[in-house]
Amino acid sequence: MKRVGGAPAHPEPVDLAVAMRYLGGDRRLLLELVGIFLDDGPKRLDSLRVAMSASDIQQIEQVAHSLRGSAAILGASDLQSAAVALEDAAHDGHAENGPQMVARIASELARAIAFFADPGWPKQLDAEATP
């Protein structure tokens, strides 16, 4: 899905059903990966900003790729989409819009982090498991 008028494409930043499918229903693994994501996500964003400042296209592409993978596993499709756009632009050597793309990543990352920072999010796993 694409953004409409700058709004996120999805009302929720994370689709736990996607994450659970991706992880074969392994709730413990999801909890572990979320912990890593909460710690590592802001560091990756900082790395992206440093790479943008240094015009390090290769680093931009690598960090965007890493964020893309994490977002896919966690069901954060808007973050994944934002990271794919930057990764593809960097790969093609067209990172002129990089600052706007990094801003979009920052926004989507903040939404995903806020989702997982809510202590009630694991209860949604139980709700989704109940038919």
For the cut 90, the answer to whether the pLDDT of residue 9 exceeds it is no
Q: Which tens digit of pLDDT belongs to each residue from 60-90?
A: 999 999 999 999 999 999 999 999 999 999 9
Q: State which H helix or E strand residue 100 sits in.
A: helix 98-117
Cβ contacts of 130 within 8 Å, gap of 6 or more: none
Average pLDDT on 18-47 reads: 96
Whether residue 61 contacts residue 91, with contact meaning beta carbons closer than 8 Å, is answered with: yes
- CATH architecture for residues 16-118: Up-down Bundle (1.20)
Q: Lowest-confidence range among 1-5, 45-49, 79-83?
A: 1-5
Read off the pTM.
Answer: 0.88
pLDDT at residue 48, rounded to an integer: 96
For the cut 80, the answer to whether the pLDDT of residue 7 exceeds it is no
Q: How far apart are CA 102 and CA 93, in angstroms?
A: 15
Whether residue 14 contacts residue 74, with contact meaning beta carbons closer than 8 Å, is answered with: yes
